[in-house]
Amino acid sequence: MLAGKKLLLIIGGGIAAYKCLDLIRRLKERGASVTPVLTPAAKEFVTPLSVAALAGEKVYTDLFDLTDEAEMGHIQLSRVADLVLVAPATANLMAKMAGGHANDLATTLLMATDTPVMIAPAMNLRMWEHPATQRNLATLQGDGIKVVGPNAGDMACGEYGDGRMSEPLEIVAALEAALADGPLKGKRVLVTSGPTHEPIDPVRYIANRSSGAQGTAIAAALARLGAEVVFVTGPADVPPPEGVKVIKVQSAEDMRAAVLDALPVDAGVFAAAVADWRVKRESHSKIKKQAGELPVLEFAENPDILAEVSRMTTGRPKLVIGFAAETDDVVANATAKRKRKGCDWIVANDVSPSTGIMGGTENAVHLITETSAQDWPRMSKREVGHKLAEQIAAALA
Ligand code: CTP
């Protein structure tokens, strides 16, 4: 999928720059060409010689390398690529990008480019969590810049947490998704996934057994077919896929707000196992045990996100897909649910414990539309995701 693609790789000045040497090899193996640009600080971590040797191309380091228009000018350099990748994107580089600075070659190229940009942030945990970095991240995402990572793990600085640059193969997957020329190119699709957590008090919550595996597989498959995917996920067991915009939420009410914020979309896939009820009055301090007394929880109904989006009169996605997790009369219940919620399709599955589907790697689903009910054989959740993504692509064509 990367064969023939041209990448402009801006290497920032962080210790994770060493991973770019392997990244260049992985990209070249897949047939992509890589034009490297090093910031002045990056040269402290990797040498232009090793980068040039791996890339097989001239390394650009200085704005004034490009002032001789007999060579390639900076405007041209910024535009010949299919995508500009910034890895590692340091806190400083992200701040400059968010602020629109253009005071060296890398930032000038980023300001001048009209091609898609992806960043792979890498920095100390505290720097990543700092409100300034999070503000810059939100600005960059709002500008349409794609983000891969960072991951959690041990850091070169000796701390542990979010801030490690994604591994080369994760970046490759994100690039493949971003550059996919599939049938969903140009389409924006929302996917909800995972369980929701409904708080009781600061330490307790009500949850369900959804792992988020099926929603994640669907989002990954949609991205592989070229869709721009907004992935709104509750606290799932499986990590979110690469190459999608991830919005993490906790409760059904948070999920509703994130979904409404993500609209308009061409299609919405509501795979999340949203809690039907929340505790009416969340206690803001821990509920203590009291001898002889049991706490009584009063419930309130959560907003039905799928039904609300299905019934929108303006801005409704062209295709709205719900899920039905049933234990009895699967097809009959799901058919009734499709009508009740007002969605176009329902993906129904039998979640009785004996099926091993909830929390497992396989699924056996029925796809119910207004006019048909297809029974799909038992297959992996990845295959279900792929098959559903293909049908979505056909419906949106
Ligand atoms: N859903 C939603 N918001 C809710 C509850 C459910 O968006 N508050 C969505 C789910 O993401 C799923 C579909 O609705 O796509 C089915 O959810 P389910 O809870 O099975 O449906 P219910 O109408 O609650 O029916 P049941 O009586 O079976 O619980």
pTM: 0.71
Check residues 293 and 119 and name the one with the higher pLDDT.
119
| Architecture per CATH, 188-396 | 3-Layer(aba) Sandwich (3.40)
Answer whether 225's CB lies under 8 Å from 180's CB: yes
Specify the residue with its C-alpha closest to ligand 1, atom 21: 324
* Mutate-to-test residue for ligand 1 from 196, 231, 276, highest number of ligand atoms within 8 A of CB: 276
Mean of pLDDT over the chain = 92
Confidence of residue 356 (pLDDT cuts 50, 70, 90): confident
Evaluate the CA torsion angle 105, 107, 109, 112 in order and state its sign.
Answer: negative
Residue 70's pLDDT is 57
Q: Is 321 in the pocket of ligand 1 (CB under 6 A)?
A: no
Q: Is residue 57 predicted with pLDDT exceeding 90?
A: yes
Cβ of residue 305 lying under 6 Å from some atom of ligand 1: yes
Q: What is the pLDDT of residue 56?
A: 96
For residue range 191-224, list pLDDT tens digits in order. 999 999 999 999 999 999 899 999 999 999 999 8
- Ranges of each domain in the chain: 6-178, 188-396
Catalytic amino acids? 157
Which of 337, 338, 345, 357 should be mutated for ligand 1, with most atoms under 8 A from CB?
337
- Ligand 1 pocket, mutate which of 193, 206, 278, 304 (most atoms under 8 A from CB): 304
- Which residues make beta-bridge pairs with 6? 33
Max CA distance (Å), the chain: 87
- Band of pLDDT at residue 72, cut at 50, 70 and 90: low
The amino acid present at 164, given as its one-letter code, is: R
Is residue 73 scored above 90 in pLDDT? no
Give, in order, the Cα–Cα distances in Å from 14 to each of 45, 60, 126, 190: 7, 18, 15, 34
Whether the CB of 322 sits within 6 Å of ligand 1 = yes
Mean pLDDT of 337-365: 90
Homologous superfamily (CATH) of 6-178 is Flavin prenyltransferase-like (3.40.50.1950)
State whether the beta carbon of 347 lies less than 6 angstroms from ligand 1: no
Distance 270 CA to ligand 1 centre (A): 9
Region 229-235: mean pLDDT is 96
CA-to-CA distance for 84 and 336, rounded, in angstroms? 48
> At CA 80, angle to CA 74 and CA 86, rounded to 5?
75
How far does residue 304's CA lie from ligand 1's centre (Å)?
7
* pLDDT above 70 coverage of the chain, percent: 98
In short, whether 309's Cβ falls inside 6 Å of ligand 1 is no
**Which runs of E-coded beta strand occur in 30-183?**
33-38, 83-89, 117-121, 146-147, 151-154, 160-164
Work out the pLDDT band at 71, boundaries 50, 70, 90: low
